C-alpha cells in the first residue's frame, strides 16, 4: 500500500533536529511527502528538500495569507483542536533570514513577518519540476488584523496568476473568522471565478458542506488532516465529499491524529488520516489508500 501526505511542513524548525530521519521513516513505510512553503525562505527550503530525494518528496511554493502583513498573535491562539488551531507559523532557521518569532514552550505570543508576494522570485521556484503546486495561499479571516483584506487578496491573485502561467494547481488555505469580515470560502470562490482555468485543493477544509460543494463543482479537491480522527463534526463533511476528490494530509507539525495526540505530528501519521477516511466511507483501507494516492498523482502530476 502507498500513502501520501499532500500537505506537510517538514521544512519548518520543528524538525531541525531530526528532519532526515522523519522523512526516511515515511519513505521507508511507502509514504510520500509534499512539503509546503509559507514564505520565500520556507518555500526555497521545501524545494531543496525535494531535490535531496530521488522520489517521494515534492514541494509547494507560495505565501501564506497570515504572512502578507506583520501582525501579532496571542498565545491563546496556539494549541491544537480542530478549527481553533493556529496554522503555519514556524519558519526555517537555515537561511539566516529574519524569522517569525514563535515560542510554544515559553508561552509567549509571536509576530508574523510581513512579506509582499514577489512574483519573479516565486516564479523561479515554481518552474522546478519537483514543485507540484502554488501555495499555500488564500484568505485567512481568523488572523486578520486591521484592514488587511485587500493585501491578502492582492497576494492571492498574484499566486493564482502564477499558477495559471506555470500550469500548476493551487494549494489553498482558507479560514473563517467570527464572520464580521465575511465568509472566506465564498470570497475565495468569487476571486477564483476570475480564473476559470485554474484548479486547486482546499487544505484543512473546515467550511460547510455547501462550501465544499461549491468548490467541488468547480473541479477542486478537498483535503483533510488528523483533525478528523478526534473531532466528530467532520464526519458529515467527509461523507459529503466523493472519494475521488479527497486528498490526505497531516499539516504536520500541527494537528497530530489519534492515537499520537500530544506528540509532534509527522508525515508517517497520514496513515491514521487515511484509516479514518476509510472508516467513515465504510470502505477497505486498501481501496481507500489506493484511491487517495491515485487522486494525488492525478492532481499533482509528479515528475522525477
Residues forming contacts to Zn ion in the complex (CB under 5 A) are: 88, 251
Which phi and psi angles does 273 have, rounded to 5°? -65, -45
Q: Is 251 or 272 the residue whose CB approaches Zn ion more closely?
A: 251
Helices (H), 167-284: 184-192, 209-217, 235-240, 270-281
* Shortest Å distance, C-beta 290 to Zn ion: 25
Contact of 134 with 170, CB cutoff 8 Å: yes
Helix (H, G, I), strand (E, B) or coil at 60: strand
CB of 108 to Zn ion, least distance (A): 22
Q: Which is nearer to Zn ion, 88 or 175 (CB)?
A: 88
Q: Which of 88, 143 has the CB closer to Zn ion?
A: 88
Report whether the peptide linkage leading into residue 34 is cis, meaning its omega lies within 30 degrees of zero. no
User: Is 88 or 278 the residue whose CB approaches Zn ion more closely?
Assistant: 88
Contact 137, 159 (CB under 8 A): yes
The helix (H) or strand (E) run that includes residue 19 is helix 19-28
Residue 196 beta carbon to Zn ion: minimum distance, rounded to whole angstroms:
26
**What is the four-CA torsion angle of 11, 15, 17, 18, rounded to 10 degrees?**
-90
CA–CA separation, 189 and 173 (whole Å) = 12
Pick 211 or 251: Cβ nearer Zn ion:
251
Report the residue number whose CB is nearest to Zn ion. 88
Residue 180: CB minimum distance to Zn ion, A: 24
Smallest gap from Cβ 265 to Zn ion, in A, equals 11
Amino acid at each position: 500500500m502507498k500513502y501520501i501526505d499532500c500537505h506537510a511542513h517538514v521544512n519548518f524548525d520543528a524538525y531541525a533536529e531530526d528532519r532526515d530521519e522523519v522523512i526516511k521513516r515515511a519513505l521507508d513505510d511507502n509514504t510520500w511527502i509534499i512539503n509546503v512553503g509559507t514564505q520565500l525562505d520556507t518555500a526555497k527550503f521545501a524545494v531543496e528538500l525535494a531535490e535531496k530525494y530521488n522520489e517521494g518528496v515534492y514541494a509547494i511554493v507560495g505565501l501564506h495569507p497570515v504572512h502578507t502583513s506583520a501582525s501579532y498573535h496571542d498565545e491563546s491562539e496556539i494549541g491544537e483542536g480542530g478549527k481553533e488551531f493556529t496554522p503555519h507559523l514556524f519558519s526555517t532557521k537555515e537561511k539566516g533570514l529574519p524569522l517569525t518569532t514563535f515560542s510554544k514552550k515559553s508561552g509567549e505570543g509571536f509576530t508574523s513577518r510581513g512579506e509582499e508576494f514577489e512574483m519573479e522570485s516565486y516564479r523561479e521556484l515554481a518552474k522546478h519540476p519537483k514543485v507540484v503546486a502554488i501555495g499555500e495561499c488564500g484568505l485567512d479571516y481568523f488572523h486578520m488584523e486591521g484592514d488587511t483584506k485587500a493585501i491578502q487578496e492582492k497576494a492571492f491573485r498574484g499566486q493564482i496568476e502564477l499558477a495559471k502561467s506555470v500550469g500548476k494547481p493551487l494549494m489553498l488555505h482558507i479560514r473563517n473568522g467570527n464572520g464580521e469580515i465575511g465568509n472566506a470560502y465564498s470570497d475565495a470562490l468569487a476571486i477564483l471565478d476570475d480564473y476559470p482555468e485554474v484548479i486547486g485543493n482546499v487544505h484543512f477544509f473546515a467550511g460547510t458542506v455547501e462550501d465544499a460543494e461549491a468548490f467541488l463543482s468547480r473541479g477542486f479537491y478537498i483535503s483533510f488532516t488528523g483533525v478528523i480522527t478526534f473531532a466528530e463534526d467532520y464526519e458529515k463533511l467527509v461523507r459529503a465529499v466523493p472519494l475521488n476528490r479527497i486528498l490526505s494530509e497531516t499539516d504536520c507539525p500541527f494537528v497530530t491524529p489519534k492515537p499520537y495526540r500530544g506528540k509532534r505530528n509527522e508525515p508517517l501519521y497520514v496513515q491514521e488520516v487515511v484509516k479514518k477516511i476509510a472508516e467513515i466511507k465504510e470502505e477497505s483501507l486498501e481501496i481507500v489508500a489506493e484511491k487517495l494516492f491515485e487522486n494525488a498523482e492525478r492532481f499533482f502530476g509528479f515528475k522525477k
